[in-house]
Structure 1
Amino acid sequence: MKLKSIVVFCASSFGHSIAYSEQAARVGQVFAERGIQLVYGGGKVGLMGTVANAALEAGGKVVGVIPHFLNSKEREHTGVTTLITVDTMHDRKRIMNDYAEGVIALPGGFGTLEELFEMITWAQLGLHKKPVGLLNTNNFYQHLIHFIDHMVSEGLLKKENREMLLIADTIEELLEKMERYEPVAVTKWIKKDDI
């Protein structure tokens, strides 16, 4: 299935490796080339600004969603195609979800992880059937991937739910996985006796 609109969660800072900015720019460029609308947090700084600017420079459409109180911190990007200002972080995520057919996390901090895990949890609970991807730029998420696998080995996460999180090192490979994604049947609450 060709995705027409994807949410990208990422840092409002640049990090120490130039690879993060280079990959964020590549994401924006590829989205524009493929006609994928970028939906993101609405800021003009850090990796957020990089992915948005790259998409815009390549002729893509960009929807930014930012809460009022973050305007001074993340500085809203007034050059995007559509800028939506909301009251709360919850409103931000809800609207971003409404606009998108898929989700990708680039490198980021607590906010990026919180957004990623909320979206993958919603998928696990059957609240949406969108592909959720992790772009493992420069092995940024390698420790997290190992920890998620540890959850499976410890019996706290089902293997089929683990496989809902699509992982790749390049945006091209990740988009390919996302376009081939088939949602799994919701199994979170099935008891062993029912199987």
Structure 2
Amino acid sequence: MFSGAQISLYPMTGDFVGVIVGALGALDPYRDRLRVETDDISTLLVGPPEVLFPAMRDLFAAASRTSVHCVLSAAISRGCPGEPDDAICNSTQFDGPIPPLTERHAAALAAVATAPELGVHAVAQLSLYVMGQGDHMDEIYGSIGFLKASGTFERSKHFATKLSGDAGALFSTLEQAFCRFGPPQGHVTIDLTVSANSPSLG
């Protein structure tokens, strides 16, 4: 199954090139397990979710530690019928039959509870889409229930859910929402914006 993300990192500073280039080293531990393609609009990261989300987390945290306002925008997808399977995306997370929602909810909460603390506070808004399934609303409501119990939930917004917290817990919450809800081989996408050091908080 194909899984990946188109990401763009925006440091709000005149030295945005320096911040981005400096943060790219955070991807080095993941490069042997990701396919990375960059153009003038975004960077494509292709790989299994258990590599993809920590890589995005560490890139964003590295940029945010400069204390400038940083935004990460991402379109994240798995199981897209328009993409070929890619061996680099192989993951055990989608093996076997799908467990009941209550079991997935509990497993997702347990995973977030063990997330590393990075010392970077961030906020995020996400919209999760489960494609082409008759029970897709059950899966979306299941995801929303998990998000509200995750410890990172801030509030519901029009068309999105807002999260806040340490970047470790935040990206773990995003990974669990992406992997645990929707059919294992189905098409699931997340539209994501993450922000740190915003002057709006001052």
TM-score of the alignment, normalized to the shorter chain, above 0.5: no
So what's the TM-score if we normalise by structure 2? Answer: 0.29
So what's the TM-score if we normalise by structure 1? Answer: 0.30
Higher relative contact order (CA closer than 8 Å, sequence separation 6+): 2
Quick check: which one's helix share is greater? 1
Quick check: which one's strand share is greater? 2
